[in-house]
Amino acid sequence: MRTIFVLFDSLNRSALGAFGNTGFPTPNFDRLARRAVTFDTHYAGSLPCMPARRDMHTGRLNFTHRPWGPLEPFDNSYAELLSAAGVYTHLVSDHQHYFESGGWGYAQAFDSWDFIRGQENDPVAVFAVPPVERIRQLFDPRHYPTDGMEPGRTATRRTLSKNVWKRSRHAINRLEVREEDDFPTAQCFRQAFDFLDRNRDSDDWFLQIECFDPHEPFDAPERFKTPFDTGYNGPILDWPLYEKCTNSSEEIAEIRGNYAALVSMCDAYFGKLLDWMDKNDAWADTALILTTDHGYLLGEHEWWAKNRMPYYEEISHIPLMIWHPEMPRRTDARVTALTQTVDLMPTFLDLHGVIPPAEVRAHSLLPLLHGDNPQRETAILGMFGGPICATDGRYTYFRFPETGDPSALPLYTLMPSQMEELFSVRDLSTAELVEAFDFSQGAPLLRIRLSEKLGEAGMGILDNWDDGHVLYDLRTDPGQTRPIEDPQVEARLLDAICAHLRAHDAPRDLYDHYALTDRMATS
């Protein structure tokens, strides 16, 4: 068996024609949908980027014990398990978070990897003294603030706020003249085709093609922007702050157009992969999986982005398509069963005949391709410390914590790192060694209390929500705008949350955080 796993970041389900988008064409994503099986009720697990990837690697939820961070020493990654079984694993990615402190171990789990430079805040074009005036002339200050940056003066990570620093790195990269071939997505697929051409006659390999696009900033080559020209002639708007949407209708249209242009670029390069499959008759012996980690709000619910609001359907309900060469071809085959990101790990292992470890809490999706009965009645998802969302595919229930104090909920890890830096000495001073969990292979873990809210954790959501626990019926209200009251449904989904927490050996602290302690062993 050969497997190609294509992972785009922030690829909205609603942007694909196969899931109902009629606003702009996605011919190649739809081309796969006509051949493969499309999953209509597929949800994220842990959010955002790296927590989602730990879910994928381990077949377990990350957010029940910790926020964003590296792979743990005791984690059984699908890449390592496949390699140990004789399957060669290779990663091609421009996802710069893999090479920050909080993303360590994921790429290294593969037998080999190619890293493409230049996405988001990865400083490829380097100026010791930033060209402040050029940045101010070209970019909207709401998306690219320059507070603390003065012409002719050196601005460093220590003198600028984190947000100003990160966005200035991308602005500087964009000042460089680039041809389309220089864009990271183009480079990712070029490197992927190098691997595919070298190994077209080999068997037993797993290739992961992972593109940061269409994650913000929404920067695409001109030929993809032209069809979405809105007539806007102001400074560049392509990297919304994670905040309430207060833009004009013209600005909203421009930002959405820039996102659509980037999706169109992803679709075009994905089409090159389908062309390779056609040319090499790879459909006969190669599995192909397409998905994303989470979605992104483009003004829906009056919000931009993610991480600051409940995990609405636009964020949590994500696309998934699977082609299996041993599956009879069915035109426009759909699976309505509830599935989740964690299910990818046992699916990858199943494709190559590898048995999942005992601690895996997910299910292979291959039986669903053949019409077998669903294995999942409910799923939970969330960010560490933020609300837990439970869904059965029809209802979504958000259980909010009792407090937004970050020190109230300890995390458990042996890799104490945030997105870009290690935990502070202040936070590490709270650490204590505690007994192993059922997934840590006998290793004890550090129990650490955070002194401040992390943007990649979920407690900041509480600052923007005053309505308490909330339940939606997606059948009558797919936009989640009209909360309902149904005590029986709420109780059932609350029981489901507790069942999932028990299955993941969640600590008592988590039950306390959500006022569920009295249900730890009774539901």
Render each residue's pLDDT in the chain as its tens digit; 523 residues: 999 999 999 999 999 999 999 999 999 999 999 999 999 999 999 999 999 999 999 999 999 999 999 999 999 999 999 999 999 999 999 999 999 999 999 999 999 999 999 999 998 888 888 888 999 999 999 999 988 888 777 777 777 788 888 899 899 999 887 899 999 999 999 999 999 999 999 999 999 999 999 999 999 999 999 999 999 999 999 999 999 999 999 999 999 999 999 999 999 999 999 999 999 999 999 999 999 999 999 999 999 999 999 999 999 999 999 999 998 666 669 999 999 999 999 999 999 999 999 999 999 999 999 888 888 999 999 999 999 999 999 999 999 998 889 999 999 999 999 998 999 999 999 999 999 999 999 999 999 999 998 888 999 999 999 999 999 999 999 999 999 999 999 999 999 999 999 999 999 999 999 999 888 776 5
Provide the pLDDT for residue 498. Answer: 97
Number of Cβ atoms within 10 Å of the Cβ of 255: 24
Provide the pLDDT for residue 332. Answer: 67
- The first and second tokens of residue 477, run together, are 């209200």
- What are residue 256's phi and psi, to 5 degrees? -65, -35
Phi-psi category of residue 435: left, alpha or beta, with phi > 0 → left and psi -120 to 50 → alpha: beta
Residue 63 to residue 270: CA distance in whole angstroms: 31
Check if the beta carbon of residue 381 is closer than 8 Å to that of residue 45: yes
- What are residue 320's phi and psi, to 5 degrees? -155, 130
Residue 467 to residue 398: CA distance in whole angstroms: 11
Check if the beta carbon of residue 207 is closer than 8 Å to that of residue 92: yes
User: Beta strands 333-340 and 37-43: pairing type?
Assistant: parallel
Check if the beta carbon of residue 420 is closer than 8 Å to that of residue 101: yes
- The first and second tokens of residue 375, run together, are 């294995």
Provide the pLDDT for residue 178. Answer: 85
Check if the beta carbon of residue 306 is closer than 8 Å to that of residue 22: no
Provide the pLDDT for residue 331. Answer: 62
The separation between CA 469 and the C-alpha centre of its own chain, rounded to angstroms, equals: 24
Check if the beta carbon of residue 451 is closer than 8 Å to that of residue 445: no
> DSSP characters for 465-519?
--S-SEEEETTT-TT--S-B--HHHHHHHHHHHHHHHHHTT--HHHHHHTT-GGG
Strand partners of residue 340? 43
- The first and second tokens of residue 233, run together, are 């002639």
pTM exceeding the 0.95 threshold for the entire prediction: yes
Residue 455 to residue 228: CA distance in whole angstroms: 32
Residue 314 to residue 296: CA distance in whole angstroms: 6
- What are residue 464's phi and psi, to 5 degrees? -115, 15
What contacts 132, CB < 8 A, 6 or more positions away?
Answer: 146, 149, 150, 151, 155
Q: Any idea what DSSP says for residue 453?
A: -
